[in-house]
Structure 1
Amino acid sequence: MKLKSARVQNYRSIRDTGEFSVEDGKTILVGPNEAGKTAILQALQKLEKPEGVKGFDPLRDYPRALYSDIIKGDLDPKEIPVVTAVFTLDEDDKEALPPAFRACEYKLTRYLGNNGVHALLNAPVSPSYAELENDLLRLASHADVQAQAAGKPIPSAALAVLSKGINSRNYLASEVAEALKDWLRQVLPFVDEDNARETQRLEALKAKVELADGRHAALKVLGGRVPIFVLFSNYFRVRPIIHLAHLAQRLETNMLDDDEYDYGNSCLLSLLGFTAKDLSELGQAVEPAHNEPAKLKTYRDQLDQRRYQLNAASVRLTDEIRAIWNPNPDRVEADRLKVQADGQYLKVVVEDDLGVEIELDQRSEGFQWLVSFFVVFFAEAAGKHSNAILLLDEPGMSLHALKQRDFRGTISRLAEKNQTLYTTHSPFLVGPDELDLVRVVQMTDRNEGTKVHTSVTSGDPAALLPLQEALGYDLAHSLFANQRNLVLEGLTDYWYVEAVGALMTASGDAKLNEKIALVPAGSAGKVVYFATILNAHKLKVAALLDSDTAGDRAANQDTLVHILGQKAILRTKDYCGGSIAKAEIEDLLRDTLVRVAKDQLGWDVEAKAAAQPGRPILDLFTAEIRDFKKYKLAKAFLRWAREHEADDLSVDERTRWKALIFAINAALK
């Protein structure tokens, strides 16, 4: 089951974020301090929290300015929605459902009173009693005649008892559906098999009741498959040396109101399968005399069990750390993590390849963070980490800026197995090719609270600052680092060229020279500036321009022609077969974009596109779709490209892109 979208309401600084989409892999929440990013993650965790994590507390979690409504009794916490999530189903989820419900989506809402309500989306509509009532009464009337003749109780009397107190307008409750199934089985012998109308009525009622029963069965199955949300904060740290007796005392007496200090240590003990008290008592145990073999065996078995469990946990953590934290890929062996018990102390040490052991806190902050993350993750997921969603609050902030950039890959590897949402205001944790994964979090007005934007837009410049810095850094870093550079008009052009280039390379149709850097200029008018700067550094430069008015104006600038020459100025119309005079890069993917827009966004211009083959596709979308944004279309194509191959493009599109890639390589050879 994958999280598709989420919405948070009525939680701390959040009145209503609005519904925002979530990516299948990783989703990045970007925004300034105090925007509400952490609050979003905290609320999401409580949708399906790990065992032992506290639920919503109306006093602490409801927006303070509105809390008087709860005190006065005007609002019931059990009726105040906080988190609503929509999930798509994996293949194993679908296989567990009745066939009629395998195309549905699952929706779950968690309320401030910690109660939940779930529903199925895009599923067959379950009937209400009111929809069945007339047919039930008619069937009962028909069956009464047969029952009276046989001297049996009349079915209409049983139906009257069954229907008493039912809200006829609501969906059939599970117990009502079950009772109706029993009633229909009892009625069956009294239905004249020669009466086609009543026989058909019976079968139709059975089908509708079974549909309601199937809906309840589907909800029950999916309710047990909701992923656990594992939140990891920088405050959760595993301490290198733990005094077991002191920790056991704090945990048993609840001495701390806020147990973040001990949380990582508690998770470590949970992972080991011991309580602090158990380990403490083992550390205090006195070896029995040798003339008491039974007690001696029990004592040794206890010590061996402790040693084996500590060793198993050490091996597991070491394997995970080695898979993720790889500071030197050329090293055959990486550092090994060890969890050791020594009397009243539990120690976490790191052994290097020379066999030298040092405490965990003497390693880098980044390494400590990762160890603590895995301890909390494995403990909270409790064997269900294959079905857990990770929520990371400001991950890797203790890392150097360039190490943060490398750490993006670490998070991507985590997201391959577990859907991941993380917050950041660091530009180094957002890649230039990851802007479609970004959700911008802002709070410009306390009365409106925190908002989440799926598109990269915001009324608060500070919210977009990390994205601007990320693009600026990567552009500055790569601008003069590559001998070959293709300047593109904008970011969406960059996405299309990169995504299709990857598809064509994978299929073997054409391979874009991997030494060519793609440089988005921001607009057609700025292409000349980028080309001038790059050319001044003796670098090879080509430009790909749309064939619209802005592209024509840029292509005809004397400066650009002088710098690049005509052969290095590529125009989109030259690869559309001449059928579209003012072709833009989207016209090179005309057939696929029409399908993607319809399937993913509900934008249907198929008939118009077929009727006007010479009209630019963006003109069609702009004319036919209200509030059309080319960014949303490009983002939808990126999602499509991750799940498809070049063979899924039309034949014309593959031909066009093959010619374009050949021309780009030739211009920058």
Structure 2
Amino acid sequence: MVRLHEIWIRFYKSFNFDYELKASPKAKPRPWQDSPEGWLPHVKIPIEPDVTAVVGANESGKSHLLDAIKIVLTGEGLRQRDFCRSSALFSVERGSRLFPEVGATFHLDAADRSASEGLAIPLLRNGDLLMLRPAPGVIHVVDADDQPISLAADQVEGLTSLLPVPRELRTDLALPDSVSINALAKGKTKLATRKQRGWIMSLLEGIATVEDVNSKAAAMVDMLGNGDALPEAQRLGMDLLLKVARIEESSFDELRKAIAEEREGLVNGLIQEMNRSIARHLNVSRWWSQDPDFQLRVSPREHELVFTIRDRTGTDYSFSERSRGLQYFLSYYVQLLSQAPADDRPEILLMDEPDAYLSASGQQDLLRVLEHHARPDDSDREDQVIYVTHSPFLINRNAGHRVRVVDKGTRDEGTRVVKDATRNHYEPLRTSLGAFVAETAFIGGDNLFVEGIADQVMLAGMNSRLLRAGRPPSQCLDLNEVTIVPGGASIPYMVYLARGRDQIKPACVVLLDGDSAGQTARKQLRSAGPYKKPIIDEKLVVVLSEWADSADLQVTQGVVIRETEDLVPVQVAVAAGQRYARTFLGLDELEAKKLTEGAVTALLADNDGSLWDALAAAFSQVFGTSISKAGFAKELLAYLAYSEEDRQRPHGVPALDQNFAALLQHLAETLRNAGEREAEARRNQRLTRIIKAFEDDFPEGCIRDRALVLLHSIDAAADDTSAGDLIKAHTASMRRTYKLATSPRENIDDYAQFLVELRRTRYLERLSQQGDPAAQSLGASAKAGSGS
């Protein structure tokens, strides 16, 4: 398959040329980038093989990038009027008007490379294809000598058949409230909308004489004549039912007739089967995390099917009663499912600011949908997704390398790509959103508290690195769900604020250094809370030195692990220190190399085995100034990224990866444990409130129907976990034991025992873990019922 690897843009809309590269003394002019003004290099935007997020301020050129990609892939839309107006080459004179230039580099697999060679299409030395569109209908490719070669008509046709297919999702189109049954049944669209039918009805109501008919006939004929223009939203609703849910058109014709003939039994049966098809093929609840029991359904009206939402309470709502964002989320999802991709060509999905109508949670749900579309877990197909956004919630914080930051320069500079924007994990947010968005702005959800910014940067960066290297996600932090919060000396107070006084408390884990400051924080966490109670459970406090005692680590001889920097082998630490000297002090490479491994290891004993203190002392001795922890962390990640790009694996890097992989896995497991504790606490609180209210209302007895309502409420409060399954299995057993489904108006027999079983609901998970036979039997039946 052909993969889009880079986009090249010059003189297109807000893109002028790469003025930074033009000004670089190390730049090498390329023949294919010549212009009437000499060498003017294209702006190059790297594209990821799966998902690329383009961020930037308003008018920075994000949408222009999507337009350029469509032109590259289709050849359509290249116009002189789109020539960059800030360019010195922009002209209105005869013979001086030029076209913008767009192009792309593609990675080819063996089959595509063979096909290209069969068409005699030149390739670059590394086997990639660099294609340019300098004018409409013209394609140039760059050969191994950097020379542009014009392709003949048959070569253009052959190459075009290999290129990926662009597909644009409409981000301004919501799923409709209803769909015409007549349009679904036969494709006829006359009077397909309520508005059209309402207009006709109001027209007919004013008719009393033949003259009235004649006076309004022209307007009626005009309305009927325009009936074939079906609104786009209606077509999207039809795609949902016909293409996604796979409902046969004849079923809608049968439904239309059944409604007209008032055959209510058949109408209900058809609607029930249609809703089953929607649930089976749409499966929205997998992606819409705000309600795991969410269902999209249809309800019949006289002339249309109305879309409704059923939530976990079993209640149906119309779209107008739910958030607007849900309609747009469903629209994006239906658009993805309703169009079958080409079998023989990859697809590039383009989206322009899909965050406009979605909440933060909805954006996170959409991000998961896009990830799945690029690399589905139920198919071998791999496509690419490119979207532009303003929102930090549509940026996958586990994959900062996917972010492309565009920025508009001053005067004639045009749009540029911010270099190395993702080297610092949070830099894209600061650069593109025009504000400092620190992690502490997002305290909530799951939180990992660390002592300093250096810990935050290093853990986030190493987490992303290990995920890219193929580390299982379960052994890393999910930075879309976990917030890394640097607290410093204020960690106890910040943990107290995060867990707060609310009923619902976020899951929190604290990572402390093994030095005196860490021990002081630990003591405060144990006893500084209200009434001298612990702020957080001791098991959720990870002291690095204590964890290291039982971990399988590779550390530099003489180093005693107390802080995260001690997990860095001295070879890598020195390389990062040298980069810091070059970047911050402006030294050349020879001067920077005066910082040596020997100088650092020689100072370990004098600094009580602290790698950081030894490195800082050696740095001060060599360069006469200090080194900062945050700067060191950033340069460490930059060094690792640089060595990765050069396909090097320097000595010490495998040990570094192993050490941080062990730490991150332990933190991920601890966070999961914290989350499970909070989920159990919230579940128990909900159950306690429900059961206590019932006991207060019915202390002596109640009818079976009221008990059924109670057990339904308990099922709704049980979450989608093994503990929740245990609770649901218990309530099902109670329904059978006390015969609640029969004679609903009779009182419950043995009401005292019923209350005992009801109170037992809160302790089922604990009893099962303690080996209680009855609870374990319920657990086995719950597993059997779920098919696990």
- TM-score normalised according to structure 2 size: 0.47
* Among candidates 103, 107, 110, match of residue 84 of structure 1: 103
Mapping for residues 203-218 of structure 1, pairs under 5 Å: none
What runs of 5+ residues in structure 2 fail to find an aligned partner? 19-42, 184-188, 193-228, 244-248, 258-269, 377-382, 500-507, 524-541, 580-588, 601-614, 624-633, 674-788
Tell me the residue number matched to 2:80: 58
Tell me the residue number matched to 1:136: none
Alpha-carbon distance in structure 1 between the residues aligned to 2:418 and 2:643: 19
**Does residue 443 of the first structure (1) align with residue 380 of the second (2)?**
no
Distance 1:261 1:40, change over 3 A: farther
Three-state SS of the structure 1 residue aligned to 2:295 is: coil
Alpha-carbon distance, 1:23 to partner: 2.0
Tell me the residue number matched to 2:484: 519
Alpha-carbon distance in structure 2 between the residues aligned to 1:659 and 1:361: 49
Alpha-carbon distance in structure 2 between the residues aligned to 1:327 and 1:568: 36
Equivalent residues of 1:229, 1:390 under 8 A apart: yes
Per-residue Cα deviation, 1:108-162 (whole angstroms, up to 9, x for no partner):
2234536333346xx6x69xxxxxxxxxxxxxxxxxxxxxxxxxxxxxxxxxxxx
Q: What letter is aligned with 2:12?
A: Y
Alpha-carbon distance in structure 1 between the residues aligned to 2:331 and 2:375: 20
Equivalent residues of 1:237, 1:372 under 8 A apart: yes
Equivalent residues of 1:47, 1:110 under 8 A apart: yes
Tell me the residue number matched to 1:226: 163
Distance 1:317 1:633, change over 3 A: farther
**Does residue 410 of the first structure (1) align with residue 369 of the second (2)?**
yes
Equivalent residues of 2:555, 2:569 under 8 A apart: no
* Among candidates 377, 398, 401, match of residue 360 of structure 2: 401
Equivalent residues of 1:405, 1:428 under 8 A apart: yes
Alpha-carbon distance in structure 1 between the residues aligned to 2:175 and 2:306: 8
Three-state SS of the structure 2 residue aligned to 1:335 is: strand
Alpha-carbon distance, 1:226 to partner: 1.5
Alpha-carbon distance, 1:655 to partner: 6.2
Over the aligned positions, Cα root-mean-square deviation in angstroms equals 6.5
Alpha-carbon distance in structure 1 between the residues aligned to 2:547 and 2:357: 46
Alpha-carbon distance, 1:173 to partner: 7.6
Alpha-carbon distance in structure 2 between the residues aligned to 1:378 and 1:653: 42
Equivalent residues of 1:391, 1:422 under 8 A apart: yes
Alpha-carbon distance, 1:48 to partner: 1.6
Q: What letter is aligned with 2:384?
A: Q
Alpha-carbon distance in structure 2 between the residues aligned to 1:68 and 1:505: 47
Mapping for residues 234-273 of structure 1, pairs under 5 Å: 234-237=171-174, 239=176, 240-241=178-179, 244=189
Tell which deviates more after alignment, 351-360 or 227-236.
351-360
Distance 1:486 1:459, change over 3 A: closer
Aligned residues: 490
Alpha-carbon distance in structure 2 between the residues aligned to 1:529 and 1:411: 40
* Among candidates 55, 59, 63, match of residue 30 of structure 1: 55
Distance 1:575 1:62, change over 3 A: same
Alpha-carbon distance, 1:493 to partner: 0.8
Alpha-carbon distance in structure 2 between the residues aligned to 1:570 and 1:8: 54
Tell me the residue number matched to 1:328: 291
Tell me the residue number matched to 2:488: 528
Alpha-carbon distance in structure 1 between the residues aligned to 2:644 and 2:297: 39
Identical columns (%): 17
Per-residue Cα deviation, 1:379-435 (whole angstroms, up to 9, x for no partner):
777646972111111113212233333433233223325321222212322244343
Q: What letter is aligned with 2:555?
A: Y
Tell me the residue number matched to 2:604: none
Alpha-carbon distance in structure 2 between the residues aligned to 1:71 and 1:264: 42
Tell me the residue number matched to 2:754: none
Per-residue Cα deviation, 1:617-662 (whole angstroms, up to 9, x for no partner):
9999xx9xxxx96554455689999xx9x9x997755765577679
Equivalent residues of 1:108, 1:119 under 8 A apart: yes
Tell me the residue number matched to 1:301: none
* Among candidates 485, 501, 521, match of residue 563 of structure 1: 521
What runs of 5+ residues in structure 1 fail to find an aligned partner? 127-168, 176-215, 248-259, 274-278, 288-306, 522-526, 546-554, 598-604
Tell me the residue number matched to 1:477: 444
Per-residue Cα deviation, 1:221-257 (whole angstroms, up to 9, x for no partner):
654221122223433456555783599xxxxxxxxxx
Distance 1:16 1:587, change over 3 A: farther
Distance 1:67 1:451, change over 3 A: closer
Mapping for residues 86-235 of structure 1, pairs under 5 Å: 86-90=105-109, 93=112, 104-111=127-134, 113=136, 115-119=138-142, 223-235=160-172
Distance 1:364 1:42, change over 3 A: farther
Q: What letter is aligned with 1:228?
A: V
Equivalent residues of 2:86, 2:412 under 8 A apart: no
Equivalent residues of 2:429, 2:435 under 8 A apart: no
Q: What letter is aligned with 2:16?
A: R
Three-state SS of the structure 2 residue aligned to 1:108 is: strand
Alpha-carbon distance in structure 1 between the residues aligned to 2:409 and 2:58: 12
Three-state SS of the structure 2 residue aligned to 1:24 is: coil
Q: What letter is aligned with 2:107?
A: T
Alpha-carbon distance in structure 2 between the residues aligned to 1:658 and 1:69: 54
Distance 1:20 1:321, change over 3 A: same
Alpha-carbon distance, 1:341 to partner: 13
Equivalent residues of 1:20, 1:452 under 8 A apart: yes
Q: What letter is aligned with 1:10?
A: F
Three-state SS of the structure 2 residue aligned to 1:367 is: helix
Q: What letter is aligned with 1:40?
A: L
Tell which deviates more after alignment, 455-464 or 233-242.
455-464
Distance 1:665 1:346, change over 3 A: closer
Equivalent residues of 1:317, 1:337 under 8 A apart: no
Alpha-carbon distance, 1:351 to partner: 7.7
Alpha-carbon distance in structure 2 between the residues aligned to 1:11 and 1:317: 46
Alpha-carbon distance in structure 1 between the residues aligned to 2:646 and 2:287: 28
Equivalent residues of 2:463, 2:477 under 8 A apart: no
Higher relative contact order (CA 8 A, sep 6+): 1
Alpha-carbon distance in structure 2 between the residues aligned to 1:32 and 1:405: 21
Equivalent residues of 1:489, 1:544 under 8 A apart: no
Tell me the residue number matched to 2:3: 2
Distance 1:513 1:62, change over 3 A: closer
Tell me the residue number matched to 1:392: 351
Equivalent residues of 1:106, 1:222 under 8 A apart: no
Three-state SS of the structure 1 residue aligned to 2:363 is: helix
- TM-score normalised according to structure 1 size: 0.53
Alpha-carbon distance, 1:41 to partner: 1.6
Alpha-carbon distance in structure 2 between the residues aligned to 1:74 and 1:584: 66
Distance 1:665 1:578, change over 3 A: farther
Mapping for residues 209-608 of structure 1, pairs under 5 Å: 223-237=160-174, 239=176, 240-241=178-179, 244=189, 318-319=281-282, 321=284, 324-325=287-288, 327-329=290-292, 331=293, 334-336=295-297, 349=307, 364-373=323-332, 376=335, 383=342, 387-417=346-376, 418-456=383-421, 463-465=431-433, 468-469=436-437, 471-474=439-442, 476-477=443-444, 481=447, 489-499=454-464, 519=484, 521=486, 528-529=488-489, 531=491, 533-534=493-494, 541-543=510-512, 559=517, 562-563=520-521, 568=544, 575-578=555-558, 587=569, 590=572
Alpha-carbon distance, 1:31 to partner: 2.0
Alpha-carbon distance in structure 2 between the residues aligned to 1:316 and 1:90: 38
Alpha-carbon distance, 1:569 to partner: 6.1
Distance 1:467 1:66, change over 3 A: closer
Three-state SS of the structure 2 residue aligned to 1:118 is: strand
Q: What letter is aligned with 2:444?
A: H
Distance 1:402 1:29, change over 3 A: same
